[in-house]
Amino acid sequence: MDSFWAGVGVDLHLDPDVSDGRRAGLERALRDAVRDGRLAPGARLPATRRLAVELGISRGTAKAAYDQLVAEGYLTARQGAGTQVAPLPSVDAAAPRTSARARAPRFDLRPGSPDVGTFPAAAWLRALRRAIANAPSLAYDYGDPRGRIELRTALSGYLGRARGVIAPPERIVVTTGYVQGLALLTRVLDGGAIAMEDPGLPFHRDVVRHNGGTVAPAEVDERGVRVRGLGDAAAVVVTPAHQYPTGVTLHPERRRALTDWARARGGVIVEDDYDGEFRYDRQPVGALQGMAPGQVAYLGTASKTLGPALRLGWMVLPPHLVDAVADAKLHSDHHTESIGQLALAELITSHAYDRHVRACRLRYRRRRDQLLDRLGARRGVRGVAAGLHALVEVADEGAVLARAAGKGLAVGHLGEHWHTPGDGRPQGLVVGYGTPRERVYPEALEALGQVLEGA
């Protein structure tokens, strides 16, 4: 029997083997589809009358096949609800649980994520509705690898006024996030070492290496990255507003030295402005890019302000890199999805994005203050002027982490961020205060305090 499509409101694709008869062949095809997951639990099947017409069999044959699979427990049939695939058998309560939820720590103070429970769902839906209502039909087609002009224009205005970035729309490339931006730049630079802050995020070093780059350590001290140690690097990746993980802000003298280095050597500065909007005790420090737009590739995302699930980021590039990065983007994934771009553009131009960022800034500042109230009087806590994490000094990371694990508390630690781990390096906990929900945050801080006090 030929393959067929059938359905009233649903499509069903099967290829029955009727060598043993039509009914047996239909039963076998349906049974196999349920077993291998092509027909999921709860999936609705076509009515027997329509199925019979499409198959060229009698309705009685189709009904008999359904009845047999109902009897075997593969299907369910209720008056008015039609025929559906039966639910999967419940998992044995004694079976080991391996879900991510079951493995999650009781208290999560790991750095790197915002409180995703604050996502502005209502404002996003309003922006999405307006964006779709006003979108031209071409918005649903393949587009410019640099991204939708609506978002690039909105970002141009926002980044200029909020972060001091010189960002003409034609020099902006929309990405799926910082990782894609770093990967594209690594491919485009294609030669020479890329200096990366030490300590810094190991995963970002892996991204560079996986895309053909060579990583060189760039030492970080209390004033930020040390420019004298950059050597012959072709590019340097920095987090000047709030260094990760130490939390220091790049000193003005180091900013000038870094831009001078880039101009003199023709090098590229990759600025990771991952949480630059969150400054608590004074106005946010402007982006480094504003000092040297011809040498700095500025990378930002909506991951910390809205949520990582959106997969929306952006690059503001020096003129000489725009075409090469756009071509690399084209051959990577053609372009970032368009509908989310239109919604974010609407969110920005309506100033709902600004309102959300300000609300988050106040919320995270309260959390920062709670952290200091619980720990600040007893030990050194660094990097608290901005961002979503702080560095808490400890004498023995291993012992503290062991006590934390015993309390179900997850935190980061400085030791995992060095390019080359070794004895004699500073130690500390990298505490993220963005992730926990509001109701559990005080308990998480209390657990952290007890761990640090040796309880």
Q: Give 206-218 pLDDT, tens digit per residue.
A: 999 999 999 999 9
Q: Residues 429, 392: contact at Cβ < 8 Å?
A: yes
Amino acid letter, 378: R
Q: Residues 307, 172: contact at Cβ < 8 Å?
A: no
Q: pLDDT at position 13, please?
A: 76
b/e per residue 26-58 (b: at least 16 CB within 10 A): bbbbbbebbeeeebeeeebbbbbebbbeebebe
pLDDT average, residue stretch 172-189: 97
pLDDT average, residue stretch 330-344: 96
For the cut 90, the answer to whether the pLDDT of residue 266 exceeds it is yes
Q: Residues 299, 271: contact at Cβ < 8 Å?
A: yes
Rounded CA separation 394/397 (Å):
6
- What number of CA atoms fall less than 13 Å from residue 300's CA on the CB side? 28
Structure token pair of residue 94? 């004694």
Rounded CA separation 218/205 (Å):
12
339 three-state secondary structure? helix
Q: Give 228-258 pLDDT, tens digit per residue.
A: 989 889 999 999 999 999 999 999 999 999 9
Q: Give 100-125 pLDDT, tens digit per residue.
A: 444 678 899 999 899 999 999 999 99
b/e per residue 329-356 (b: at least 16 CB within 10 A): beebeebbebebbbbbbbbbbeebbeeb
Band (10; pLDDT cuts 50, 70, 90): low
For the cut 90, the answer to whether the pLDDT of residue 50 exceeds it is no
For the cut 50, the answer to whether the pLDDT of residue 429 exceeds it is yes
- The domains found in the chain, sorted by start residue, are 4-85 (1.10.10.10), 107-116+356-452 (3.90.1150.10), 118-354 (3.40.640.10)
Q: pLDDT at position 5, please?
A: 41
Q: Give 125-149 pLDDT, tens digit per residue.
A: 999 999 999 999 999 999 999 999 9
For the cut 90, the answer to whether the pLDDT of residue 454 exceeds it is no
Alpha helices in 137-251 (DSSP H): 149-163, 178-189, 202-210
Band (378; pLDDT cuts 50, 70, 90): low
> Does 33 or 376 have the greater pLDDT score?
33
Q: pLDDT at position 421, please?
A: 81
Burial class (CB within 10 angstroms; exposed 0-12, middle 13-18, buried 19+) of 217: middle
pTM flag (> 0.85): no
